Amino acid sequence: MERRNFAQVLKDAKVDITKEYQRLYTMFNSKKSNHSHSFRNVCEYNFNKLPFKGTCLTLSDFDEYYGFNFFSRADNVEINHLVSYCEYLFNIAKYNSVNIYDNNWYKGGDFLIQIRKVIELIGYMETSQDNLTIFVPKSQPAIVVSEMLPANLSYKVVEYNHHSMKGDLARKQATLKLLADRLESKRTELKGLNKSLEDDIFYLVNNLNIRHNNIEVSSPKYKKAVAEMPEEELEEWYDKIYDMCLYAFMTLDQADRNAKVKQLKNIIEDNKG
């Protein structure tokens, strides 16, 4: 069955990404009736509270320096732009939750609530990296597998779906190598459960420039077809390998669960009374 991409799923669900962006933009920049300040004005006033401001002097300086270009005129917003804006607003609002003007309009908590509604609506979830909040697509397999792995690797599993990873082959390579290395110790067990899956995963990670240098002519592991493969195609294969690794971890977990179920069945049957 042909898979729909994420934009198609949202379109079928009648989620208006542009409208959600404009609502957030209006909340952030507009002045409420009878008040002279917008929430952006409040954030400007409290800018020095931001622990991630670096050497920037004002919020406007921060926007310009880091290239945060969010405009009121947005006729066709893409999903990644909306998610970026949500991350931007969320992290700023977290440090502006005190009601310094004694008016609900200026509570950062109002923005946290609204952003969480938007994120839930578009099928994303909240996670953290370096004390900053980021949003990634909800992926039940990724969530399940992340709970099986050590903390330093579990985040990598979830992060793989973040929009900033799109097109970043180096980061995807690094994550896939970590997953493959983790599976290595379970390779014999995985082979017994699903030989084809085990064979495919380790062939791909060993031949698609993940665990070995397959693109440099001077490398003993050089593969001409891989070296000449367009980056877009290589990234598609990386994403397939990621899905296969998740399936492998779940296969191993299910085998352990099957053994426990069998043990319970034996206890029940041996004690029928």
pTM over 0.75: no
Q: How confident is the model at residue 105 (pLDDT cuts 50, 70, 90)?
A: very low
**Angstrom distances, CA of residue 209 to CA of 139, 158, 178, 214, 224:** 26, 22, 14, 5, 11
Q: What is the pLDDT of residue 102?
A: 44
Q: How confident is the model at residue 108 (pLDDT cuts 50, 70, 90)?
A: low
Cα gap 215→221, rounded to integer Å? 8
In a domain, 71, yes or no: yes
DSSP label at 164?
Answer: G
Q: What is the pLDDT of residue 7?
A: 56
Q: Both 163 and 210 in a single domain?
A: yes
Pull the structure tokens for residue 264. Answer: 């319970």
Cα gap 52→87, rounded to integer Å? 13
Number of domains in the chain: 2
Q: What is the pLDDT of residue 14?
A: 64
Average pLDDT value for the chain: 85
Q: Using the predicted structure, report yes or no on whether residue 99 has a pLDDT greater than 50.
A: no
In a domain, 219, yes or no: yes
In a domain, 1, yes or no: no
Q: What is the pLDDT of residue 149?
A: 86
Q: Using the predicted structure, report yes or no on whether residue 17 has a pLDDT greater than 90.
A: no
Cα gap 21→39, rounded to integer Å? 16
pLDDT over 70 percentage in the chain: 88
Q: What is the pLDDT of residue 113?
A: 87
Q: Using the predicted structure, report yes or no on whether residue 6 has a pLDDT greater than 60.
A: no
In a domain, 241, yes or no: yes
- Tell me if 92 sits within 8 A of 60, measured CB to CB: no
**Residues pairing with 135 in the sheet:** 126
Q: Using the predicted structure, report yes or no on whether residue 87 has a pLDDT greater than 60.
A: yes
Domain end among 84, 117, 138: 138
Domain of 231 in residue numbering reads as: 146-270
Q: Using the predicted structure, report yes or no on whether residue 59 has a pLDDT greater than 60.
A: yes
Q: Could you read off the pLDDT of 204-235 as tens digits, one per residue? A: 999 999 999 999 999 999 999 999 999 999 99
- Tell me if 2 sits within 8 A of 66, measured CB to CB: no
Which residue's structure tokens are 């995985």?
Answer: 190
Domain end among 138, 155, 188: 138
Q: What is the pLDDT of residue 33?
A: 62
**Angstrom distances, CA of residue 166 to CA of 8, 11, 25:** 18, 21, 25
Residues 6 or more apart in contact with residue 129 via CB below 8 angstroms: 155, 159
Q: What is the pLDDT of residue 101?
A: 45
Q: What is the pLDDT of residue 86?
A: 93
For the chain, the farthest-separated pair of C-alpha atoms sits apart, in whole angstroms, at 78
Q: What is the pLDDT of residue 1?
A: 40
Q: Could you read off the pLDDT of 26-50 as tens digits, one per residue? A: 988 887 666 678 888 888 888 988 9
DSSP label at 30?
Answer: P
Q: Both 18 and 112 in a single domain?
A: yes
In a domain, 164, yes or no: yes
Between 13-17, 91-95, 134-138, the lowest mean confidence (pLDDT) is in 13-17
